[in-house]
Structure 1
Amino acid sequence: MDTEQTFAFDAELWLHSATKASWHFVTVPAEISRRIRFLAGRTNGFGSIRVRACIGESRWATSLFPDKATGCYFLPLKAEVRRARAITTGDRVSVELMMG
């Protein structure tokens, strides 16, 4: 990919607690997930894709993780970002993802 691609969307923060560690995620909408999958081509381990994310003034490098059941990607939100933005499970957030 020669140029940076940016995707913006709103999504609800949700908690995945299937393991001892509780992880918070937002789900990337289906259409954006399809575009990201197409643009990414080759992926990292487990089908993950490296991106830069932004919520408000918080910016960080992370990976999107695929969900085979829905075909969408999940974006993890680390505790540092949740605290800085004062967001918790069930809150809707405006997300910007950058690739490239």
Structure 2
Amino acid sequence: MQLTFTAPLWRWTARQDDAWWFVTVPPDESDLLAELPLPPRGFGSIRVEVTVGSTTWRTSVFPSDEHKAYVLPMKKQVRTAEHLEPDQPVPVRLVTVDL
């Protein structure tokens, strides 16, 4: 499955000393992900290949009860390479893998 969307970059504030950044997968796209059969690993995560700008990497999206959607972690290397700033809209291409 391939999804394309734009969503703002935000910082996880549960622990102030950690710099975890995410993009929330929009509701319609999250609903599509929720319909996929889940692999036998924990947390309901789904392995994906992500492209933002000219940067492509593999990671997982995770269901978030707080956001009622899946969230995509945005590592520092990507944020730096693509000059991403807090609250800035991030265009994302997400492809599920290992299904």
Instruction: Report the counterpart of residue 48 of structure 1 in structure 2.
Output: 45
| TM-score using structure 2 length | 0.89
Moved over 6 A (4+): none
**Structure 2: which 5+ residue stretches go unaligned?**
none
Alignment size in residue pairs: 95
Deviation string, structure 1 residues 43-81 (Cα, Å, up to 9, x no partner): 431111110111010000001011123430000000000
Provide the aligned C-alpha RMSD in A. 1.1
Over the matched positions of the two proteins, sequence identity in percent amounts to 38
Instruction: Report the counterpart of residue 91 of structure 1 in structure 2.
Output: 88
Instruction: Report the counterpart of residue 64 of structure 1 in structure 2.
Output: 61
Distance in structure 2 (CA, Å) of the matches to 1:81 and 1:95: 12
Q: Give SS of 2:29's match.
A: helix
**Structure 1: which 5+ residue stretches go unaligned?**
none
| TM-score using structure 1 length | 0.88
Distance in structure 2 (CA, Å) of the matches to 1:61 and 1:78: 11
